[in-house]
Every structure is written in C-alpha cells, then in structure tokens.
C-alpha cells in the first residue's frame, strides 16, 4: 500500500474478540496507530510479540496498538478460537478477527506478520513486514510522535489495555505432557511451569516459579517461559523452554535445573559441532531421546537438531531451514514448523504443523519421507490412505507399541491414528470434546492428552476409548 495515503477505516466485518466496543481509527487522531496483521499459528508472529510489548511500554502515551488476525486455517475463522490464542499469547491490546481477510486486502498485506504504522492525521506512514524489526519500528514511531508534537497534533493519553481473560483454573493452556508407568509430567505452559504428578492428578513437585522468567535454580526457584516438550533420560527431565529459546535439564533427585542448549536469544544460524549451551536456537517445541542423543525440534528454524549429551555439542540433524514440505536426505529435506516428535525404533516421527503433515526421519542417515500430507496449503479433515488423508495443524504424535502413531490433529479437535504398516489414517472415536489438543503420551494402557484450550489433561483408555478428565491439583 502507498504510504501517506489515507488509512482505511476498520470495517464492520471485523469481530473484536477482547474489547466490548469496536474502536474506530477516526477517533484516534493525534496518536500513532500500529496495526499488526498475524495468524496465531505462525511462529514469526509469536516472535514479534516481545517487540510489540516493548514498543507499547515505551510509547504508552502516544501509541495505540491493534492486532488484526487473518487466518490461514479454516478453524481459525472462529472468533472464540482467536480469543483463546490472544490469551495464550498474552496479548493485552485490542484484537480483531478478520475471517474474510477484508482489512488484509484493503491494506494490501501479503505476509504474516506485517506491521502498518499510521500517523497522527490518519495517513499510512509505513508498512514493515516480518519479525526482528524493533529498532526500525522504534525510530519510525519516535519520528511520527515528534512530528505530531511539533505540529501541536499529539494526544498524550495512555493507551487503554484490552482483556477478556480465561477463567481461573489449576492449568492454563497445557502444552506437551509425558506419562510414565507411575508419573505424569505436564507442561503447564500458560503458567510457565512443569508439574510432576501422579496418575490421579496429585501434584508432587513443580519446576518453575509460575512467572515467566529465565534463570536456573531448584524446583520452584527457577524461571521458564512457555515450556513445551518433555523427555526423560536416566535421572534427568529435559524441557523444551520454547519462550526462552532454550532446552533446560532437571536433575530429578534434587530438583536442580540448568540450561543445556540455547542462550535465551532466538537462533537463526545452523550449528555444526557447536557448544550447546552457547548456541542460540529458535523456539524449541519438542524433544526425544535416543541413547545419548537428544533430538530437538527448532520450530522457528524448521529443523531437527541433535544434541550429544555426552559431549554437550549440537548439530543440525535434518532440515534445510526452508519453510516447505520436501523429502530428501538430511539437510536436503525441509520442514514447516515441526511441533511434535516421538520415536519408533531407529526412526523419528514428526508432527509437521504448518504443512499439516506427519514425517518420518531415519536415524541411520537422516532421510526424511512424508507419511501424511501434501503441502503448506493442503489441509482438511479426512481419513483414508496416504494420498487422501488430511490433517489441520497437527501438534503432537505418540507411538503405540503396535505400530500405531496417534496424532493430535489440533485444529480439527481430534485424535487420529496412523498405521505405519498400511499408511491408513482414521479418526479415533473418543467420547470427549477436544479443543486444540496439543500434547500426547502413551503409558499405563492409556493415551494421555493435553486438551490445551480446555485447560485440562484427559486420560483415554486405549481398550475402551473412554476419555476421563484428570483432576490436576484439585
């Protein structure tokens, strides 16, 4: 869109999810307005949020920020799903659902995320696509506010926050989970902690203070941010600390936590035999252990990393880094926001979220093949064989000893079963309503499900298919 043209007004088709009255751009003269266009499945949009929060705090007396959610997937057209995402992401400014992408088209946006800056007179001043542009945005906002003040146009009232919070419950948007024969580990992601429970839901220990942070310590005296994937090896619990761009390790005997991969900064480079604790990684979402190797999904970098636990070094195991669905040998293959991982013998099974696919990776040579899925925009809700089955943003996968991979088909609100032998996919008949299930684990004759948007854990008996809520901490 041409800069210094009049900014299009918010259309009536927008559904504002976290404010009671629809705002109007025409009522914001004298302030700089920041519109950001996003889709809540997109990792680049997640990574823009810290910059937006920083800018909102810095320019609270002159900047008004609005999120415009423009969906990639059919499920995301539902305003209630958008509100859940707004709360999960911790957004505190007004957000509108734009299911028909009307405003997206009026502003001629062509990428998630994109920021539009509007000056104090309601004219488009800049369009800034992508993440990592904090300094550029900071300089432009400061200049626009200074220009408004020089012309005696600037309004100095503080921006009004927006909030329609989730009801208080013991869990808040639980992500991944890990079940053993006697224990249940839950990534209570919205509370920035990991819980160790028994199978009845009694909390035994908590790792993480419950407040977002990044520091090592013991039990509750350490900081996590949006923890996700979990893996056990000997006496250690490994945690994919997604919001901190790190992998943490808890010594279960003492509860001591330390950082084994990442330095708190978002990674963008490809490591080779690098010191793990000094190497940045982008949004690690899940983990799997095979012998003395920890396989880590770098969701933002579209790769699988291999952490040598004996040498504390890290390499890229598979993935070119390009956002794509492409099979091939190791670094020739491409993933699209890999989100869930499990093992099947000497193979990794990957839930490749943005391509709505399930991928298989051979450990012997890193060769990647696609079991389900056809492309970044080939999604749906269908059972069938390799060519006809469709998923919608799967977030996790768990292997049954019988050779069945259970899939958290998140945006379809279902669990699906994939036979590795035949390639057939079918929906699991479960008598329980699932809302964007994000984590799966199998133990003690049950499939344990993180029913993320319902803030609960569900135990599904594999023999009967009956689902039952696990009362965590109640």
The answer to whether 78 and 433 have CB atoms below 8 angstroms apart is no
277 and 369 fall within a common domain: yes
Last residue of a domain, one of 132, 150, 168: 150
The answer to whether 313 and 294 have CB atoms below 8 angstroms apart is no
Residue 304 within any structural domain of the chain: yes
Q: Is 34 helix (H, G, I), strand (E, B) or coil?
A: strand
405 is written with which tokens? Answer: 């991979």
Nearest of 446, 451, 450, 452 to residue 465 by alpha carbon: 446
134 and 31 fall within a common domain: yes
Residue 339 within any structural domain of the chain: yes
| Residuewise pLDDT in 10s, the chain (474 residues) | 667 799 999 999 999 999 999 999 999 999 999 999 999 999 999 999 999 999 999 999 999 999 999 999 999 999 999 999 999 999 999 999 999 999 999 999 999 999 999 999 999 999 999 999 999 999 999 999 999 999 999 999 888 889 999 999 999 999 999 999 999 999 999 999 999 999 999 999 999 999 999 999 999 999 999 999 999 999 999 999 999 999 999 999 999 999 999 999 999 889 999 999 999 999 999 999 999 999 999 999 999 999 999 999 999 999 999 999 999 999 999 999 999 999 999 999 999 999 999 999 999 999 999 999 999 999 999 999 988 999 999 999 999 988 999 999 999 999 999 999 999 999 999 989 999 999 999 999 999 999 999 999 999 999 888 999 999 998
Tell me: the pLDDT tens digits for 381-433?
999 998 899 999 999 999 998 899 999 999 999 999 999 999 999 999 998 99
Number of domains the chain is built from: 2
368 and 319 fall within a common domain: yes
User: What does each C-alpha distance from 191 to 212, 297, 455 come to in angstroms?
Assistant: 8, 22, 11
Last residue of a domain, one of 133, 150, 167: 150
What's the pLDDT score for residue 3?
A: 73
279 and 399 fall within a common domain: yes
CA triplet 405, 173, 289: central angle to 5 degrees?
40
145 and 232 fall within a common domain: no
What is the spatial distance between Cα 64 and Cα 279, in angstroms, rounded to a whole number?
A: 36
What's the pLDDT score for residue 166?
A: 96
The answer to whether 380 and 427 have CB atoms below 8 angstroms apart is no
220 and 296 fall within a common domain: yes
CATH number at residue 310: 2.120.10.30
What is the spatial distance between Cα 142 and Cα 147, in angstroms, rounded to a whole number?
A: 9
What is the spatial distance between Cα 377 and Cα 457, in angstroms, rounded to a whole number?
A: 30
The answer to whether 388 and 381 have CB atoms below 8 angstroms apart is no
Residue 36 within any structural domain of the chain: yes
What's the pLDDT score for residue 474?
A: 86
* Burial class of 21 by CB neighbour count within 10 A (0 to 12, 13 to 18, 19+): exposed
39 and 129 fall within a common domain: yes
**In 115-175, which ranges are continuous DSSP H helix?**
134-150
- Residues of the domain holding 105: 15-150
What's the pLDDT score for residue 402?
A: 87
What's the pLDDT score for residue 159?
A: 87
The answer to whether 180 and 204 have CB atoms below 8 angstroms apart is no
What's the pLDDT score for residue 449?
A: 98
Residue 112 within any structural domain of the chain: yes
Q: Is 139 helix (H, G, I), strand (E, B) or coil?
A: helix
Residue 164 within any structural domain of the chain: no
What's the pLDDT score for residue 1?
A: 67
CA atoms within 13 A on the CB side of 301: 26
334 and 383 fall within a common domain: yes
114 and 195 fall within a common domain: no
321 is written with which tokens? Answer: 């880094």
* Burial class of 36 by CB neighbour count within 10 A (0 to 12, 13 to 18, 19+): buried
- State phi, psi for 190 to the nearest 5 degrees: -70, -20
141 is written with which tokens? Answer: 């906002």
Residue 158 within any structural domain of the chain: no
CATH number at residue 42: 3.40.30.10
190 and 134 fall within a common domain: no
What is the spatial distance between Cα 76 and Cα 72, in angstroms, rounded to a whole number?
A: 7
What is the spatial distance between Cα 382 and Cα 385, in angstroms, rounded to a whole number?
A: 9
Strand 124-129 versus strand 177-179 pairing type: unpaired
What's the pLDDT score for residue 386?
A: 86
Residues 6+ apart with CB under 8 A from 272: 315, 316
Q: Is 66 helix (H, G, I), strand (E, B) or coil?
A: strand
The answer to whether 434 and 174 have CB atoms below 8 angstroms apart is no
The DSSP secondary-structure symbol of 428 reads: -
Residues 6+ apart with CB under 8 A from 43: 282, 283, 299, 300, 337
65 and 199 fall within a common domain: no
227 and 271 fall within a common domain: yes
Residue 3 within any structural domain of the chain: no
């Amino acid at each position: 869109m041409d800069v210094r043209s009049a900014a299009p007004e918010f259309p009536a088709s927008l559904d504002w999810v976290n404010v009671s009255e629809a705002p109007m751009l025409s009522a914001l003269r004298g302030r700089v307005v920041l519109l950001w266009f996003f889709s809540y499945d997109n990792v680049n949009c997640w990574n823009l949020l810290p910059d937006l929060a920083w800018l909102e705090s810095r320019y609270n007396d002159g900047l008004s920020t609005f999120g415009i959610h423009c969906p990639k997937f059919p499920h995301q057209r539902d305003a209630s799903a958008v509100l859940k995402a707004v709360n999960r992401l911790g957004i505190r400014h007004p957000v509108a659902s734009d299911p028909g992408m009307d405003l997206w088209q009026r502003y001629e946006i062509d990428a998630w995320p994109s920021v539009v800056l509007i000056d104090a007179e309601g004219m488009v001043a800049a369009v800034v696509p992508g993440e990592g542009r904090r300094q550029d945005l900071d300089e432009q906002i400061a200049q626009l506010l200074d220009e408004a003040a020089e012309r005696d146009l600037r309004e100095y009232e503080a921006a009004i926050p927006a909030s329609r919070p989730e009801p208080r419950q013991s869990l808040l948007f639980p992500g991944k989970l890990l079940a053993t024969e006697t224990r249940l580990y839950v990534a209570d992601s919205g509370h920035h902690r990991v819980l160790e429970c028994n199978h009845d839901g009694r909390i035994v220990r908590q790792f993480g203070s419950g407040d977002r942070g990044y520091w090592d310590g013991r039990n509750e005296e350490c900081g996590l941010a949006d923890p996700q994937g979990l893996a056990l090896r000997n006496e250690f619990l490994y945690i994919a600390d997604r919001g901190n761009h790190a992998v943490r390790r808890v010594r279960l005997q003492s509860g001591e936590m330390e950082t084994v991969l990442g330095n708190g900064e978002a990674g963008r480079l490809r490591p080779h035999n690098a010191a793990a604790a000094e190497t940045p990684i982008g949004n690690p979402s899940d983990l799997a252990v095979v012998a003395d190797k920890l396989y880590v999904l770098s969701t933002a970098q579209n790769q699988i990393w291999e952490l040598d636990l004996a040498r504390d070094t890290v390499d890229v195991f598979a993935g070119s880094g390009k956002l794509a669905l492409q099979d091939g040998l190791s670094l020739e293959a491409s993933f699209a926001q890999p989100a869930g991982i499990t093992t099947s013998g000497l193979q990794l099974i990957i839930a490749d979220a943005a391509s709505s696919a399930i991928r298989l990776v051979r450990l012997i040579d890193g060769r990647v093949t696609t079991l389900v899925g056809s492309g970044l925009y080939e999604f749906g809700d269908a059972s069938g064989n390799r060519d006809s089955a469709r998923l919608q943003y799967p977030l996790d996968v768990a292997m049954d000893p019988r050779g069945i991979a259970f899939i958290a088909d998140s945006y379809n609100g279902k669990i699906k079963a994939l036979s590795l032998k035949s390639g057939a996919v079918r929906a699991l008949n479960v008598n329980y309503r699932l809302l964007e299930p994000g984590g799966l684990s199998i133990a003690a004759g049950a499939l344990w499900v993180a029913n993320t948007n319902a803030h609960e854990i569900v135990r599904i008996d594999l023999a009967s298919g009956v689902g039952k809520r696990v009362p965590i901490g109640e």
